[in-house]
Amino acid sequence: MIPIVVLSLGLAVLGMTARADAQTVRIYTHNDEKEMEAFVADLRAATGLDVQVLRMSSNELRARVVAEKGNIGADLQWGMPNSHALLAKREGLLEPYRSREWDAVPGQFKDAEGHWYGWSYWFNAIAVNTEILQKKGLPRPRSWADLLDPRWKGEIVMPNPGTSGTAYLVVATLMQLMGPERAWDYLTRLDRNVAEYTKSGSAPAEQVGRGQYALAITWDQAVITRKAKGYPLELIIPEEGVGFDLDSIAIFRGARNLAAARKVVDYVGSERGMRLFAQHRSKVTRPGIAALVPFDPKLFPYDAARAGEEQDRIMLEWKTRFQK
Amino acid sequence: MSTAVAVSPRCRTGWAEVARRAAREPGTLLVAVGLGLLLLLFVLWPIGAVLVQSFRTRTGEFTLRNYGDFFAHRFYYRALLNSLILAAATTVVVVTLGLAFALLTTRTRSPLRRPLRWVALLPLVAPPFLFSLSLIILGGRRGLVAQALGLDVNIKGWPGVLIAQAVAFLPLAYLVIENVLVSLSGTLEDAAADLGADPWTTLRTITVPLALPGLVKAGLLVFILSLADFGNPMLIGGGRGFLATDAYLLLIGEQNAPMASVLAVFLLVPALGAFAVHHLFLRGRSFTTITGMPAVARRQELGPVLRGLVLGVCLAAALVVAATFALVVLGAFTEVLLIRNRFTLEHFRSPIGWAALQTSLRMSLGAAALSAGLGIVLAYLVTRRQLPGRAVLELAALLGLAVPGTVMGIGYILLFNTPPLVLTGTLALLILNTAFREVSVGMEAGISKLHQLDPSLEEASRGLGAGLLTTFWRVVLPLLGSAFAAGFVYTFMVGMITVSAVVFLVAPGMNLAAVYILNLAETGALGLACALSVVLIAVVVGCLGLLRLLARRTGLVLGGA
């Protein structure tokens, strides 16, 4: 008995003392699990770094980074909404770095002082389950306005803007597109048709792909990857245009392993990295590399900085109106 | 100083006596103070931090506004109502089911009672939210049931959470109630039957009233578990607000630590209330009917009608349990369940999942060792050494278990992310959190064991010249082996499947399997979630088997199931 006690206490102590070493880089990400596994494998091969990843939804990470200010639990974040990068820069959370690898990327996709770089962008999209549409005789929606038709009642699923960057992008885009008053009126009428608000931005595409609901408000990749897997989905860009987000990478101030973090930024801007990302992403920012989306969606000229500033106010209003 | 404090002479000698004794055993005192400080740091202080934070603005000034906001906004107080309603409903359902299973296994000779017992205990080894996962496949909109029957049903919302929680918490309620029913001697039931009472009357007027403390205890336990449950409301609540999940989303999703703390306080109050009722009124109270007197009782059996009813209820519940497990296994080996039903092993190839599983194992083993070790030392100090403040030590240890995980998680994040103690992102913090939440299990087992052991053994050892440490090491510890094992096994199991507190504490390279499964399930990656669940359950069952084997080899008796 006593040897067991000693042994297990020893194990406990041993487990507690394990720590990260100099070749280790710690990354926060909101990137999809599957694609991140491929990215990390290639990053390891290209740089020889030991990579540790924590995946959470973008708002969860934003909260975490703010709470951890001064001792952020990662060296950098690879995969963050541009609005969060803009806010983080203003709050002094980011460490600037000028990477030569990013020279080829146009200025509109990166910070002039090197605080953040945009490596790909994605956009909101609507997805419908073609089998259910056919079975129930529902029309293919063409615009945001079409979703207010009472025939969609109980058939729409969208993410919760409190937890999902995808959903907040929808809400913020509508605010800028219609003006606050008409946008709230739109969301109120939409709410009557919405069956469920999910925590993550990809979940609606999964649920509609599985046939739980007929229509998802989501983002492009959530639809394209699942369509490729055989889900009966069709991607629709509403004719008013959709919000888009420049997915960014940024090093945190106070990074424990700055040299390794810079290597990651270099890798993400490199031709090698971008070619890999192009296999998983709608659009990448390095010119001349074709990514998954062959067409150019109608993008709404969305002001990310303003959306970031208005987030608290919009969310309070949203919860007051729609939280059950 | 001329103004002497008025202390009664008796009290003064009492303290003096205690102080003198403590001075004779400086080592004991040192250990007690050390343990007290650890409990203060890792149990009481985090709770305090949550309380303090709930009275602060985001910039740190004192305010009462947060509580005003709570009652001003429907989306805050609605979560409190939802949580209380759910906890009450779950308690009623689970205690009823637990009683049915306990009656079946102790008051009938049904050949099904052994297999049904195992099915009822099965949920112990799975993450509590596993049942939401399969209920979505089973009863979701256009799920298995809806497709088979051509109905438009959606289990998400109230029915889903209620069923999922009922399945998840059934084993604990069942074990508590069964324990009570077994310890009731059959003599009174015999007497009732001999006096002409039919089985229903016997059950109603003898068995249930005698088992009442056990039923209430099971009810309080389930109530606390339901309140603190995190995963089920998240997965199958259909977007409805519940305290534990909303507190998490407020802190993690909206960076609103003050409001998250307010919600945590409203989670804490009912849980502590249930704990207080249990601690003050129920602990140690039972209607003892087994005495030293030899009593030969036939074990009374339920009549045919009652037996049929109980069996029916149990079979229905067992069917749900078995179906949920079966669906998870199916989902693990199917490409996309219900859409592309082809066999695959692809879901098992997830490097992140395997890494998380490894972390879970290391964390659980570390926490189990720490919590069981501290638990029996605490038990010894509390029962055998006359220490000032030992009741406080015991209470602090018990609090770890009673306080909802969400509260602890928020407290840990508030405390251990800023100097002087920066522990976030380390395995150590996960281990400490889990160990101190479960430390009372080993302690309670140790206390009840020590109450059965005559102190004369220790006195003999000391009389023969052995020091206190030697006596503890060579006499007490070997006798407490089973208590250590009970604490170890329980903490290990909980460590592998727990979510509610550690979800706040995971970090890059330091994710836990149960948290990762919840994450996968929430984004709808059901195949991956099912596969990792299957592996997790297999690992837990395997480790339990291994521990049992080890225990048998070393001659230990494992407590509980």
Helix (H) or strand (E) holding B336: strand B334-336
Q: For residues B491 and A123, what is the distance between their CA atoms, to the nearest angstrom? A: 45
pLDDT attached to residue B285: 52
Q: Tens digit of pLDDT for each residue in B126-155?
A: 888 888 988 888 887 777 887 788 777 788
Q: Dihedral through CA B96, CA B101, CA B107, CA B111, nearest 10?
A: 150
For chain A, what is the mean pLDDT?
88
Q: Which residues of A touch B351 (CB under 8 A)?
A: 37
Q: Among partner residues A1, A4, A16, which is closest to B427 by beta-carbon distance?
A: A16
Mean pLDDT in residue range A20-36:
83
Q: How many other C-beta atoms can be found within 10 angstroms of the C-beta atom of residue B177?
A: 26
- Nearest-Cα residue of chain A relative to residue B374: A9
Q: Is the dihedral of CA A204, A205, A210, A213 positive or negative?
A: positive
Predicted-complex ipTM score = 0.75
Contact between B499 and B518 (Cβ < 8 Å) = yes
How far is A242 from chain B, CA to nearest CA, in Å?
A: 22
Mind listing the pLDDT tens digit for each residue in B514-545? 999 998 888 888 889 999 999 999 999 998 88
By percentage, how much of chain B surpasses pLDDT 70? 90
Work out the mean pLDDT of chain B and round it to a whole number: 85
Query: Residue B22: pLDDT band by 50, 70, 90 thresholds?
Result: low
pLDDT-derived band at A263 (thresholds 50, 70, 90) equals: very high
- pLDDT tier, B99 (very low <50, low <70, confident <90, very high otherwise): very high
How close B545 comes to chain A (CA, Å)? 16
Tokens (6 digits) for B486: 């009970």
At A314, give phi and psi (nearest 5°): -65, -40
| 3-class secondary structure, A120 | strand
Nearest CA-CA partner of B493 in B367, B333, B376: B367
A38 in contact with chain B, both atoms CB, cutoff 8 A: no
A261 touches chain B (CB under 8 A): no
**pLDDT above 70 for B550:** yes
**A311–chain B nearest CA distance, Å:** 10
Higher pLDDT, B423 or B432: B432
For residue B144, the model assigns a pLDDT of: 80
| Residue B252 vs residue B41, higher pLDDT | B41
pLDDT of residue B209: 86
Contacts of B253 in chain A (CB under 8 A): 57, 59-60, 63, 162-163
Instruction: State the average pLDDT over residues A13-35.
Output: 71
Highest mean predicted confidence (pLDDT) among A60-74, B134-148, B286-300: A60-74
pLDDT band, residue B14 (cuts 50/70/90): low
Cα B125 to Cα B542: distance, rounded to the nearest angstrom: 10
Q: For A270-292, what is the mean pLDDT?
A: 92
Please judge whether A323 and B74 are an interchain contact, meaning their C-beta atoms are less than 8 angstroms apart: yes
Compare CB distances from A37 to B75, B351, B525 and report the shortest one's residue. B351
The residue-averaged pLDDT of A82-96 equals 92
How many Cα atoms are found within 13 Å in the side-chain-facing hemisphere of B173? 32
Interchain proximity A203–B509, CB inside 8 Å: no
Q: Which of A24, A37, A196, A318 is the best residue to mutate to test the B interface, defined by the most B CB atoms within 10 Å of its own CB?
A: A196
Give the pLDDT confidence score for residue B9 in this predicted structure.
44
Beta-carbon separation of A210 and B78 below 8 A: no
pLDDT tens digits, residue range A122-175? 899 999 999 999 999 999 999 999 999 999 999 999 999 988 888 999 999 999
How many of the other CB atoms lie within 10 Å of CB of A35?
18
Phi-psi region of A92 (alpha: psi -120 to 50; beta: other; left: phi over 0): left
Q: For residues A224 and B551, which has the higher predicted lDDT (pLDDT)?
A: A224
Task: Match 């000698």 to its residue by tokens.
Answer: B13
* Mean pLDDT (whole number) for B339-362: 89
Which positions ≥6 away from B360 have C-beta within 8 Å?
B495, B496, B512, B513, B514, B536
Decide: A26 and A73 in contact? Cβ < 8 Å: yes
Angle at B549 between CA B543 and CA B555, to 5 degrees: 135
Cβ partners under 8 Å of residue B180, min gap 6: B102, B211, B213, B214, B215, B286
Confidence of residue B558 (pLDDT cuts 50, 70, 90): very low
Compute the distance between CA of residue B236 and CA of residue B157 in angstroms, rounded to an integer. Answer: 6
Residue B267 near residue B75, CB atoms below 8 Å:
no
Question: Which of A51, A199, A227 to mutate to probe the B interface, most B CBs <10 Å?
Answer: A199
- 3-state class of B420 per DSSP? coil
Q: Do A4 and B550 touch (CB under 8 A)?
A: yes
Closest by alpha carbon to B424, among A73, A51, A50, A182? A73
Q: Count other Cβ atoms within 10 Å, centred on residue B77.
A: 16
Give the residue from B274, B244, B233, B225 showing the smallest Cα distance to B124: B225
Q: State the pLDDT confidence band at B298, using cuts at 50, 70 and 90.
A: low
CB contact under 8 Å between A203 and B524, yes or no, is yes
Phi, psi of B234 (to 5 degrees): -65, -45
Q: In Å, how far is B276's CA from the nearest CA of chain A? A: 31
Is the previous residue joined to A159 through a cis bond, with omega within 30 degrees of 0?
A: no
Residue in the block written with tokens 């059901």 = B526
What pLDDT is stored for residue B296 in this prediction?
Answer: 52
Residues from chain B contacting residue A205 (CB–CB below 8 Å)? 524
**Distance from A320 to chain B by nearest Cα, in Å?**
6
C-beta neighbour count of B124 within 10 angstroms? 22
- B508 vs A26: CB contact, 8 Å cut-off? yes
d(CA B379, CA B373): 10
d(CA B488, CA B499): 19
Q: What pLDDT, on the 0 to 100 scale, is given for residue B439?
A: 93
d(CA B518, CA A176): 35
- Tell me if residue B173 falls in helix, strand or coil: helix
Q: What is the pLDDT of residues B54-73, one digit of tens each?
A: 999 877 889 999 999 999 99
Task: Calculate how close chain B gets to A168, using CA atoms only, in Å.
Answer: 12
- Nearest CA of chain A to the CA of B511: how many Å? 7
Q: Is A188 on the interface with B (CB under 8 A)?
A: no
pLDDT computed for residue B155 by the predictor: 85
* pLDDT at residue A18, as a whole number: 41
Q: Does A21 touch chain B (CB under 8 A)?
A: no
Q: Which residues of B130-169 are buried (b: 16+ CB within 10 A; e: fewer)?
A: bbbbbbbbbbbbbbbebeeeeeeebbbebebbbbbbbbbb
Predicted pLDDT of residue A108: 82
Measured between CB atoms, which of A8, A54, A63 is closest to B251?
Answer: A63
Phi-psi region of A51 (alpha: psi -120 to 50; beta: other; left: phi over 0): beta
Task: Out of B422, B431, B522, name the one closest to residue A15 (CB).
Answer: B431
Which pLDDT score, from 0 to 100, does residue B239 have?
A: 80
Is B42 in contact with B408 (CB distance < 8 Å)?
no
Residues of chain A positioned with their CB less than 8 A from the CB of B74: 320, 323
Alpha carbon distance A183, A176 (integer Å): 8
pLDDT of B158-209, one tens digit each?
999 999 999 999 999 999 999 888 877 677 888 888 888 888 888 888 888 8
- Give the least confident one: A283-297, B70-84, B154-168, B308-322: A283-297
Nearest chain B residue to A66, by CA = B255
CA distance linking residue A211 with residue B339, whole number of Å: 9
Instruction: Please report the pLDDT score of residue B469 as a whole number.
Output: 81
pLDDT band at A2 (very low <50, low <70, confident <90, very high): very low
Looking up tokens 């099971």 gives: B218
* Reported confidence tier of residue B554, pLDDT bands at 50, 70, 90: low
What proportion of chain A, given as a percentage, has pLDDT over 70? 93
Scan residues 219-258 of A and list those with Cβ closer than 8 Å to B: 229-231
Integer Cα distance of B267 and A9 in angstroms: 33
**Residue percentage of chain B with pLDDT more than 90:** 42
Q: Give yes or no for residue A20 having a pLDDT over 80.
A: no
A contact test, residue of B134, B242, B346, B417 with most A CBs within 10 A: B417
Q: What angle do CA A244, A250, A254 make, to 5 degrees?
A: 150
**Interface check A66 vs B, CB under 8 A:** yes
Average pLDDT over residues A245-265: 95
Residue A12 confidence (pLDDT) above 70: no
For B299-309, how does the pLDDT look when each residue is reduced to its tens digit (9 = 90+)?
667 778 888 89
Judged by CB atoms closer than 8 Å, whether chains meet at A26 and B481 is answered as no
- Dist. CA B459–CA B480, nearest whole Å: 16
* Helix/strand/coil percentages in chain B, nearest 5: 75, 0, 25
Residues in chain B within 8 Å Cβ distance of A319? 73, 75
Residue-wise burial string across A201-229, b where 16 or more C-beta atoms lie within 10 A, e elsewhere: bbbbbbbbbbbbbbbbbbbbbbbbbbbee
Which DSSP string do the residues of A211-279 spell out, in sequence order? Answer: TSSSEEEEEHHHHHHHHHTT--EEEE--TT-B-EEEEEEEEBTT-TTHHHHHHHHHHHHSHHHHHHHHT
CA distances from A158 to A83, A127, A143, A229 (A): 21, 10, 16, 21
pLDDT given for residue B101 in this prediction: 94
Confidence of residue B80 (pLDDT cuts 50, 70, 90): very high
Answer whether A20 sits within 8 Å of B509, measured CB to CB. yes
pLDDT at A277: 95
Using the Cβ of A53 and the Cβ atoms of chain B, whether some distance falls under 8 Å is answered with: yes
Q: Which residue has the higher pLDDT, B24 or B97?
A: B97
Q: Does the CB of A16 have a partner CB in chain B at under 8 Å?
A: yes
**Rounded to 5°, angle at Cα A304 from A303 and A309:** 105
Pairwise CA distance, residues B101 & B317, whole Å: 9
**Residues of chain A with C-beta less than 8 angstroms from the C-beta of B158:** none
Highest mean pLDDT among A5-19, A310-324, B215-229: B215-229
Tokens of B479: 């006798």
Candidates A30, A210, A219: best to mutate against B (most CBs of B within 10 A) is A210
Nearest Cβ partner for B425 among A73, A197, A212:
A73
